[in-house]
Amino acid sequence: MVQHTEKSRGHVILGIHQGLEAVSEKLVLTPHLLQSYLEIESEQSIRSADEFTKEVLDYYILGEEKQGIKLPWPKLENTFRLRNGECTIIAGINSSGKSLVVGQITLAAMAQQATVLSVSLEMPPRSQLIRMWRQASLSATPDLDFGIEFNSWSRGKLYFFDKEGSIDMNTLEAGIRYSIAHYGVNLITVDSLMTISGIRNDDYTAQKEVVCRLADLSRDLDCHILLVAHARKSMSVKDKIDRFSIRGAGELTDRVDNVILLQRYYSDDELDADCWLAISKARHWDTGECEIDLWLDLASLNVLTEGQKPAKLVMYGQEPEKTGEV
């Protein structure tokens, strides 16, 4: 009886050892994997679903799905916005008005209490502000009073990365992190992808890596990054673009949350729209994808939907002179 008991105990101990060996085999880590394993453990990256319940409740009950920066076209107000934690590409062929639209979006964002960092390596801050003053004042020649008022209003709302030509990705990331840490920036516009040094027109791998880093930054830093990209040079100005027309195509658009396309019309009829804007991808919007025609107001350099009137920038809680659609 004693011998039988000891024999049974031996089987149990052997089973435990075998089980531990099986677990140990699963936890065998190379030095390379060990570092990542420890990072996951320290950051608690693997989390239970119930830990996200409050965020989901906020989304449905508090209307968080409608939060974010409204674009300057009322038709899109309830279907699409620029939300923190997301990255958007705005693309078109050369001279389609991408930088113009980015300036208009920047002003709309500032009016909604966003703090913006403009990284435009194709246009110096002086030139950007000349255009913004015109867009905000609705005048080709803003007066001194408007300039003083805009200067005061924009202080603490708008920052420029004062560099021209090109910039390497590490410097760009450092600038984004610095502006968020020191100035509370939550919208970053980058104009354009091809001004980031080390990227050739046909180097889609390098382009993909930059877009991946920017998309990761937007999530990690809870900001929105709006990145200007170009359509392929082989396209005619009359070819209708889609998101596969962007240089790098799926390699880039798959990595971002949203894709906005912009294209000019070339019509001799003055009543026809001047350009076309499409929300070609809206990952977290059920009804986000859409197309709208836009007309250019030459005095203010704002693009507007049909029936929409130019609205002077609202500063310090004053009522706009003209707003909305008719």
Widest pairwise Cα distance in the chain? 106
* pLDDT score at 235: 61
- At 210, the pLDDT band (50, 70, 90 cuts) reads very high
Q: Are strands 224-230 and 290-297 parallel, antiparallel or unpaired?
A: unpaired
- Both tokens of 150, joined, read 């805009």
Strands (E), the chain: 69-70, 81-82, 86-92, 116-120, 158-160, 187-191, 224-230, 258-264, 275-282, 290-297, 302-304
**What average pLDDT does this structure show over 138-159?**
96
- Residue 60, pLDDT above cutoff 80: no
* pLDDT score at 320: 44
Q: Over the chain, what is the mean pLDDT?
A: 85
Could you tell me the residue ranges of all domains in the chain? 2-44, 70-304
* pLDDT score at 323: 37
Say how far apart CA 293 and CA 197 lie, in whole Å. Answer: 34
Do residues 186 and 224 touch, judged by C-beta distance below 8 A? yes
> What residues does 91 pair with on adjacent strands?
229, 261
CATH superfamily, domain 70-304, is P-loop containing nucleotide triphosphate hydrolases (3.40.50.300)
* pLDDT score at 139: 94
* pLDDT score at 218: 98
- At 187, the pLDDT band (50, 70, 90 cuts) reads very high
- Residue 52, pLDDT above cutoff 80: yes
Say how far apart CA 76 and CA 322 lie, in whole Å. Answer: 18
Q: What share of the chain is helix, strand, coil (3-state, %, to 5)?
A: 40, 20, 40
**What average pLDDT does this structure show over 300-323?**
77
CA distances from 316 to 113, 136, 202 (A): 11, 14, 47
Q: What is the pLDDT of residues 164-176, one digit of tens each?
A: 888 999 999 999 9
**What average pLDDT does this structure show over 153-166?**
94
103-117, 130-144, 286-300, range with the lowest pLDDT: 286-300
* pLDDT score at 11: 53
Do residues 277 and 264 touch, judged by C-beta distance below 8 A? no
List of residues 6+ apart from 285 with CB closer than 8 A: 79, 80, 258, 279
**What average pLDDT does this structure show over 228-251?**
73
- At 5, the pLDDT band (50, 70, 90 cuts) reads low
A 10 A CB-CB count for 69 gives 23
